[in-house]
Structures are given as structure tokens and as C-alpha cells.
Amino acid sequence: MLAVHRSGGVRSADDRTAADASLLTAIVFPINELAMARDLQNQSGLPRTTAMIRDTSATDRSIAAAPGAARARWLLWGGVIVAVIAVVLLALRFLASERSVDASRLRFAEVKRGTLVREAIADGRIVAADSPSLYAPANGAVTLKTRAGASVAKGEVLAVIDSPELAAELERERAVLASLQATGERAGIESERLRQTALKAADEAEVARIAAERDLERAERGHRLGAIAEVDYLRAKDAVAAAQIRSRHAAADAELEGKSVGFERSTRTQELRRQHSVVAELERRYTELTVRAPVDGIVGTVAVSDRTKLARDALLMIVLDLSRLEVEIRVPESYADDLGIGMDVELDVPGGKARGRLASISPEVVGAEVLARVAFADAQPQGLRQNQRVSARVLIENKPDVLLLRRGPFVEQGGGRTAWLVRGEIAERQPVRLGDSSLEAVEVLEGLKPGDRVVIAGTELFEDAKRVRIND
């Protein structure tokens, strides 16, 4: 196993352990040696001076020990023992760490409480809020009446499409309409003649019935007086019955003829209405061959050249209404589910900053981005131009009073599940649970508390170690 030296070099763990042991021996051994020498002297019963020195005890005088000398001696020995213990503990702590890294190669951050502002940074461009695209209404050759960049008024002619096919179709349908109108008029006259004939027959039958009933009345009076024979009376009765039958049938025929005439008239009316619709649609399309400006503005992109033959629905040009501008932004796909209409947006536009709100969001993702439109919340800044580049910051959410830690590579390196917590000179792995994040900070849900010091960058130097010594 390798360990990073304080100076930035690399040494093996075995070498480091041997060096630390030597240091410990150098500190402890002199003390032990002194104690052993004193023990040997006491065991031999010899005086403190060796035999090779002449005995001068006869000339010695007793001198009283200075006050406090014994106490000073004990304090000295206590200080030495405390120092030895401290050195031993420090060495053991150093040996317990698996690696050693200079603090200058790391970045630290402190866990604090604050407000987490979730935001999305996006690039955008100035666009016209209203920019209608104009298309060819039919197949034909185009004649341009304007050019890109020209100012136009609503209703002004921009191009004319020459479409012989549409013109021919319109004339053909107009002819069909005229034929239907003429045929309908003739059929209406004939139907009316038949209806009148049926009514006339019904009227004549009714008159015959009335006359027969009168003849029957006279025959009845004559028969009672004996002036008319029985057979003549019966003949008169039969005549009345026959007249009544003819009258009923004639009336039914007249009614049926009237219904038939009404049905034919309704059918002809429906046919004429349908044909009128066909002709009206063709006339509308023919009128649209003259392409006019839908709004006041400036001609933007002109997609065709003069006298070019086009297919129906081919793009002709785009008209820009520059009286009202918006910002078109591209938001990273990772924020797609967080976006909502009406969110506040901070815009960096030429000349300063502006406020806006999300006005529309595309329902599809293109190129790992979501297209959205931002409308200015206040007065539109002056001096803006079509397609100018701007930057935007979408304010997604504010979370007050949460534990925050400055973002760093440790989030990705630990998978958001671990962090390196610093206690004194030792950094240890600490299980954590992280929440939402912004561009600058990440929310801490579990595992850390306010005031904790965390290594947020440089943790790749720790490799697979569980404890790392941080050298100042």
C-alpha cells in the first residue's frame, strides 16, 4: 500500500511504520536507559560514585536540600511522562490512517443552513413573439413582390402565385354550378306544371262530385213523388259514389305530386349548396394566390427565388412582428419534468438584465433539450434585435431552512451516498443522503449536521482508503 507524504511524495506504509517506530524508540529509549542504570546502582549497594574514584566522604559536609527541589524533580518527570504519552497517542493516530494528503490539494466546505435555490441555466435567442410563416396555396410559379428585410404593412401584397391548374379547376366547377342552376330551374318549372295539373284534376273531380250529389237530391225528390223511376234513382246514387271516389283519388294525387315537387326542390337545393361550397373554396384558394402580409412587420427569411415553380404548401417567407419580442431558450432535458408555465426567469440581455416568465414549453425533447418561450415580465428592453444571443436562468424552486453543502466532485465520486467528514486532522467516510441540488449547493438530508467540515474536491487522491490524514 502507498501513502501520500506531506510534501506530496509517495512512500510505502511499511516504510512509514518503521520510521515512526524509530522515532518512538528514540524518544522512549533514553528514559528507559536512565532508569535501568539507577536500578543497577541500587542493587549493587555501591555508592553513587564508582570504585575508581577516591573516597572523599571524610571531607563531605551535609547540605540541606533546597526547598522545593523534590517537587521540581517530580514535575520534571511528570512532564516527561505526559510528553511521551502524547507522542505515543499521536503516533498511534497517525498509524491508524491509511493515507496522508496535503490540505493544499483539497477543497473543503462547511455544512450550513440556508435557502436552496434550484435553477436551470439555458442559452437562448431573441425572437418575434408573432412570426407567421407563409406557404404556397397551390402548385405554380411565384412572382415575388418584396425582399428580405423590407418593412411591410398588414394586407400588403408580398407574392403572387400563377397556378393554371387551380384556375382551370375553378372554371370547371363554376360551369358545373351554372349547369346545376339551369337544370334546377327547368326541373322546377316542370314539377310545378305537374303539380298544377294534379291540382286541376282534383278540383274537377270535386266539382263532379258536387254535381252528382245535387243530381241525387233531385232524383230522391222525384222518386218520392213518383216522377222518376227506381232505376234512374239508383243510377244517380251510383254516379255520386263514383264522383266521390274520383275526387278522393284526385286530391291524393295532387298531394303526392306536391310532395314530389318539394323533395325534388330540396334535392336540387342541396346539390346547388354543395356546388356553391366547392366554388367558394376554390375562389378562396384562388384569392390566396395573391399572398398578403398577415401583420405589420418586417420580411424575415425568403425561402424561394422569383419565378420559381413551387409545390403546394412550400414555404415562401416569414414575416416578423418586431413590436413584441420573446426569448426562445433551450433547457437541458434533465430539467424537463421541473418546468412549468409562469416560472420566473432571469435574463442576461444586451445592455443589462431583465425579468421574464415561461410562456410556453414544447412537449417534445430534441437533441437532449426542451424548447421553451420566455415573455418579458416588464417593459421590453430597448435595442433588442432578432436572433440576438442571450442567457437565461430559470428559477425552478426555493427551499428555505435546509442543510446545504457547497457542490463539488464528491457528489459524483461518491454517488451521492458518501462524503469525507473531517475531524481534526483525519478525514473519514461518512454515509449521507442528499436531496435536491442547485448549481452551487446540494441539500443534505441525513448524515451531516451544521458546522461539519467536508472534503468536497480532491477525494480521488484518497482512492479506497477509509481514513486519511490531512497534512496542513
**Alpha carbon distances (Å) from 271 to 133, 173, 259, 280, 366:** 36, 13, 18, 14, 49
Q: What does the pLDDT read at residue 390?
A: 93
Res 389: pLDDT? 93
For residue range 60-109, list pLDDT tens digits in order. Answer: 454 444 555 566 666 777 766 776 666 555 554 544 446 788 888 999 99
Is the predicted pLDDT of residue 423 greater than 50, yes or no?
A: yes
Nearest to 85 by CA among 28, 23, 36: 28
**243-268: average pLDDT:** 76
Q: Is residue 121 scored above 50 in pLDDT?
A: yes
Band of pLDDT at residue 460, cut at 50, 70 and 90: confident
pLDDT above 90: residue 247: no
Q: What is the pLDDT of residue 90?
A: 54
Tens-digit pLDDT profile for residues 313-342: 999 999 998 888 999 999 998 888 888 999
pLDDT confidence of residue 47: 44
Q: Tell me which residue has cell 466546505.
A: 109
Q: What is the mean pLDDT of the chain?
A: 78
Q: How confident is the model at residue 260 (pLDDT cuts 50, 70, 90)?
A: confident
Residue 251: the pLDDT is 79
Task: Please write down the HEC assignment for all residues of the chain.
Answer: CEEECCCCCEEEHHHHHHHHHHHHHHHHHHHHHHHHHHHHHHHHCCCCCCCCCCCCHHHCCCCCCCCCHHHHHHHHHHHHHHHHHHHHHHHHHHHHCCEEEEHHHCEEEECEEEEEEEEEEEEEEEEEEECCEEECCCCEEEEECCCCCCEECCCCEEEEEECHHHHHHHHHHHHHHHHHHHHHHHHHHHHHHHHHHHHHHHHHHHHHHHHHHHHHHHHHHHHHHCCCCHHHHHHHHHHHHHHHHHHHHHHHHHHHHHHHHHHHHHHHHHHHHHHHHHHHHHHHHHHHCEEECCCCEEEEEECCCCCCEECCCCEEEEEEEEEEEEEEEEEEHHHHHHCCCCCEEEEEECCEEEEEEEEEEEEEEECCEEEEEEEECCCCCCCCCCCCEEEEEEEEEEEEEEEEEECCCHHHHCCCCEEEEEECCEEEEEECEEEEECCCEEEEEECCCCCCEEEEECHHHHCCCCEEEEEC
Instruction: In whole angstroms, give the CA distance from residue 5 to residue 13.
Output: 10
The proportion of the chain whose per-residue pLDDT surpasses 90, expressed as a percent, equals 29
Partners of 372 in the β-ladder: 329, 361
- The region that residue 416 occupies, defined by phi over 0 for left and psi between -120 and 50 for alpha, beta otherwise, is left
The span from the CA of 63 to the CA of 281, in Å, is: 136
Check residue 10 and give its pLDDT. 36
Mean pLDDT score, 5-23: 40
Assess whether pLDDT exceeds 90 at residue 125.
yes
- pLDDT tier at 4 (50, 70, 90 boundaries)? very low
pLDDT, tens digit, for every residue of 195-218?
777 777 777 777 777 877 777 777
pTM: 0.49
C-alpha cell at 120: 436551470
CB atoms within 10 A of CB 339: 16
Cα distances from 250 to residues 211, 262, 371, in angstroms, run 16, 18, 77
CA distance from start to end of the chain: 22
Per-residue pLDDT tens over the stretch 295-312: 999 998 899 999 999 999
CA 460 to chain centre: 35
Query: What is the pLDDT at residue 113?
Result: 92
- Residue percentage of the chain with pLDDT more than 70: 77
Instruction: Identify the band that residue 144 occupies on the pLDDT scale cut at 50, 70 and 90.
Output: very high
* Predicted local distance difference test score (pLDDT) of residue 253: 75
Q: Indicate whether 435 pLDDT > 80.
A: yes
pLDDT of residue 408: 86
What is residue 9's predicted lDDT score, i.e. its pLDDT? 38
Q: Give the pLDDT confidence score for residue 98 in this predicted structure.
A: 62
Where is pLDDT greater, at 261 or 410? 410
pLDDT at 21 over 90: no
Q: Please check whether residue 450 is in contact with residue 112, taking contact to mean a CB–CB distance below 8 angstroms.
A: yes
Rounded-to-10 torsion of CA 114, 115, 118, 123:
-90
pLDDT surpassing 80 at residue 263: no
pLDDT of residue 86: 62
**154-198 pLDDT per residue, tens:** 999 999 999 888 889 999 999 988 888 887 777 777 677 777 777
Would you state the pLDDT for residue 462?
85
